[in-house]
């Protein structure tokens, strides 16, 4: 294996050897390709998910990282060019086939990390179905969107960033994370304040009615105080939270 944990970078021989040596958990993210304001790339959720999955697999130990799914349920962003969206049933079918493939190879724990809010419900539904149909494999996913947003707001608050600025989409927290991962893809000269009001009672309206009902620039939050150093911290905290959650639900 040479220290690699990415299935995409392994030969089938290395993947077999990893499974035989006890790497029975596999982690992958379900991201998106959608607008993230005028300053972030459309690949934002996939970039964040990829890094999150890598960190989580490393923290769990004896775990591999499967390829990130780079397109998700983004109908609420289709008012902005560059967005590509799947129907929920399409995403569920993809996740279902993906997990069945991994289960056939002998992974005992399959961990799904949705890194885009629009994917949480579809992932929750397909995980429930898979848990009933996969006898020898446990499928685990963190699908508490409100809990995740509150967690990120709390992380930002330690740097004096209020929840409204930390945001739920392309705000300070998400922009900081992308700066930590791919600074070259971020244009901070275009970073502008978006909607900075209370989002906890509006996020589900946005998912059903479209983000333009809340913000014309596609930003929920204020990215102007984003910094790569804070982004590295947020990613580390998020990964540790996910690893702790997975340890409580995984099978040995």
Structural domains in the chain plus CATH codes: 7-249 (3.40.50.10310)
% pLDDT > 90, the chain: 90
- The model's pLDDT over 13-64, given as tens digits with 9 standing for 90+, comes to 999 999 999 999 999 999 999 999 999 999 999 999 999 999 999 999 999 9
pLDDT, residue 66, reads: 98
pLDDT, residue 200, reads: 73
pLDDT, residue 207, reads: 79
- The model's pLDDT over 123-149, given as tens digits with 9 standing for 90+, comes to 999 999 998 899 899 999 999 999 999
Q: How far apart are CA 166 and CA 171, in angstroms?
A: 5
Taking the CA atoms of 132, 133, 137 and 139 in sequence, report the sign of the dihedral they define: negative
- The CA distances from residue 163 to 191, 193, 195, 199, in Å, are 17, 13, 11, 9
Mean per-residue pLDDT, 152-157 = 97
Residue with tokens 């300070």: 172
Q: How far apart are CA 88 and CA 68, in angstroms?
A: 17
- The model's pLDDT over 185-227, given as tens digits with 9 standing for 90+, comes to 999 999 999 999 887 777 778 878 899 989 999 999 999 999 9
Q: Is 59 in contact with 239 (CB distance < 8 Å)? A: yes
pLDDT, residue 135, reads: 87
Q: How far apart are CA 10 and CA 93, in angstroms?
A: 25
Residue 170 has pLDDT above 70, yes or no: yes
Q: How far apart are CA 240 and CA 236, in angstroms?
A: 6
Residue 1 has pLDDT above 60, yes or no: no
Q: How far apart are CA 50 and CA 27, in angstroms?
A: 10
pTM for the structure as a whole: 0.96
% pLDDT > 70, the chain: 99
């Amino acid at each position: 294996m040479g220290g690699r944990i990415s299935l995409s970078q392994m030969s089938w021989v290395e993947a077999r050897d990893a499974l035989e040596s006890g790497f029975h958990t596999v982690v992958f993210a379900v991201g998106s390709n959608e607008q993230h304001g005028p300053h972030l790339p459309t690949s934002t959720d996939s970039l964040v998910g990829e890094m999150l999955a890598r960190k989580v697999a490393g923290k769990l130990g004896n775990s591999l990282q499967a390829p990130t799914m780079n397109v998700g349920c983004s109908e609420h962003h289709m008012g902005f060019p560059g967005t590509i969206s799947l129907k929920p049933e399409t995403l569920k079918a993809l996740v279902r086939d993906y997990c069945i493939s991994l289960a056939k190879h002998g992974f005992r724990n399959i961990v799904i990390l949705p890194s885009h809010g629009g994917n949480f419900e579809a992932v929750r539904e397909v995980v429930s179905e898979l848990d009933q149909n996969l006898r020898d494999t446990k499928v685990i996913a963190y699908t508490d969107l409100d809990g995740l947003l509150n967690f990120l707001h709390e992380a930002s608050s330690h740097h004096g960033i209020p929840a409204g600025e930390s945001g739920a989409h392309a705000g300070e927290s998400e922009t900081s994370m992308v700066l930590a991962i791919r600074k070259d893809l971020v244009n901070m000269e275009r970073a502008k304040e978006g909607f900075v009001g209370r989002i906890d009672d509006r996020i589900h309206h946005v998912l059903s009615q479209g983000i333009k009902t809340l913000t014309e620039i596609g930003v929920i939050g204020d990215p102007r105080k984003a910094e790569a150093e804070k982004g590295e911290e947020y990613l580390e905290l998020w990964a540790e939270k996910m690893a702790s959650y997975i340890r409580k639900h995984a099978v040995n």
